[in-house]
Amino acid sequence: MTNETLTLFELNSLVRELIETQFDESYWVVGELSDVSTPAYGGHFYGELVQKDELADRIIARARITCWARTYGMLRLRFQKESGETLRKGLQVRLLVKINFHEQYGYSLNVLDIDSTFTLGDLAKRRREILLQLEKDGILHDNQELPLPRLLRRIAVVSSATAAGYGDFCNQLEQNEYGFHFDVQLFPAVMQGEQVPESIICALEAILSSPAEGEVGKGLPFDLVVIIRGGGASSDLSDFDSYELAACIAQYPLPVLTGIGHERDETVLDFVAHTRVKTPTAAAAFIIDHQAGEAALLDDLYQRITRSAEERILREKQRLERQQAVLPLLFANFFQGLWNRLVLASQRLTGNAIQRLEREPGRLLLLHQRLNSSSSHRIEREQHRLQLMKQRMDSLDPRLLLKCGYSITTCGGKIVRSIEGLVEGDVLTTSIENGEIYSKVVLCKKN
């Protein structure tokens, strides 16, 4: 131990000299590619090599790797030709590296060669095994088969309360251009580390036991569950590759929307969820677009119903106007018929009496005296009877009935004498002394 004080640069320079002296050879190393950055044509390749504990399923070692453009161009083409794969995250690879230490950038591995016999890594292999087990259990697509509610208003969000992605999600929902209102409730969960599966499962259970108002007939507290996570390294997404968590979401009674990675990332949850998007803002955009589509459909239905109602009202108004024009003529014809019958009856009665007198002159002589005494009475009775008949005929005049407070009800131009044939919605026309009343049948009830 020395009392000499070194600057950080001097100390790092000593470390660099030691590494260059002790580790001047190249080494074959096995690990899993994570958080890789695929360069454009002619660029350098950067990424991270990780090793996971097979029992605890957690990352126990990691190192930055670099492959310079000239070397990467040759290795990439050869690797793709021999393995059929691209250098992407999740691949277990065997690399020939040279240890490098830089005073400013620290420890890294410079890639010199790659063994093409290594292809799939533990992360990708484990993901495939989980998906195969879910498919074998028959639950892989269960959540995707749930119907998405027409209106997505009550949203349950599983995320970290301090995550920037959660804030972006809420802001985009609140500031949507359509002015839609959403009831968003956060169910906090750990979104990074070994506790991710257990924490999210607990949040999902809390959603189902929420006291929020349930869906009619189903008792479901929310319309949609959204699992979001923004930012973070791609290697951290391996925490979401859990069979227990995937099985819980696959069999969940509510549709689940996931937005837990970036454009190039995917997890097992993305394959079992009802709908997957890349980011929290994309999840908010999906919900807003869904609502906008339903709103457009409702607006179209409203327009169609309005037009149909206006056309129906116009047709009924025209029909009533036609009936109103015909009704006076019908009454006039009815009254004229009654008067003609009365005149005809009077004429026939007078004619019969004259013919009877002409045919029986002898009998008239014999009955002269009887007739003298009874004819006057008979004539009076007949006149009285005629008067009664006339009064009865006059009393049958609908205009008199209307003046006495009675009314005449018609439906479709026919007089209503019974509730038989009437149905709810029929339009009735009631004629009274000084006008007409129009009404609609609401209920028909027999006495």
Can you spell out the DSSP letters for 386-416? HHHHHHHHHHT-HHHHHHTT--EEEETTEE-
**Co-location of 168 and 193 in the same domain:** yes
CA distance to 363, 369, 372, 373, per residue, from 366 (Å)? 5, 7, 11, 13
Question: What totals of helices (H) and strands (E) does the chain contain, helices first?
Answer: 11, 14
pLDDT value for 225:
97
For residue 120, the number of C-alpha atoms closer than 13 Å in the C-beta half-sphere is 8
Domain assignment present for residue 308? The answer is: no
**Co-location of 157 and 207 in the same domain:** yes
pLDDT value for 215:
43
CATH number of the domain within which 33 lies: 2.40.50.140
**Co-location of 78 and 200 in the same domain:** no
**Co-location of 269 and 412 in the same domain:** no
**Structural domain count of the chain:** 3
Domain assignment present for residue 306? The answer is: no
Q: Are 432 and 407 in contact (CB under 8 A)?
A: yes
- State the angle between helix axes of 196-208 and 243-250 in degrees (0 to 180), rounded to the nearest 10: 20
pLDDT value for 83:
64
**Co-location of 63 and 132 in the same domain:** no
Q: Which of 76, 5, 62, 71 is CA-nearest to residue 31? A: 62
- With left for phi above 0 and alpha for psi between -120 and 50, is residue 190 left, alpha or beta? beta
Domain assignment present for residue 24? The answer is: yes
**Co-location of 185 and 249 in the same domain:** yes
Range(s) of the domain holding residue 188: 126-295
Mean pLDDT by 10-residue block, N- to C-terminus, for the chain (447 residues)? 80 86 86 82 86 81 91 87 72 88 88 77 73 94 94 93 88 92 94 88 93 55 91 64 93 94 73 92 94 89 89 89 82 84 86 72 66 71 84 73 80 86 87 87 82
CATH number of the domain within which 251 lies: 3.40.50.2300
Cα 385 from chain centre: 79
CA distance to 79, 109, 199, 404, per residue, from 63 (Å)? 21, 7, 29, 107
**Co-location of 264 and 283 in the same domain:** yes
pLDDT value for 18:
86
pLDDT value for 441:
87
pLDDT value for 323:
81
Query: At which residue do the structure tokens 């620290």 appear?
Result: 106
Of 120, 151, 183, which residue sits at a domain end? 120
**Co-location of 156 and 246 in the same domain:** yes
**Co-location of 197 and 131 in the same domain:** yes
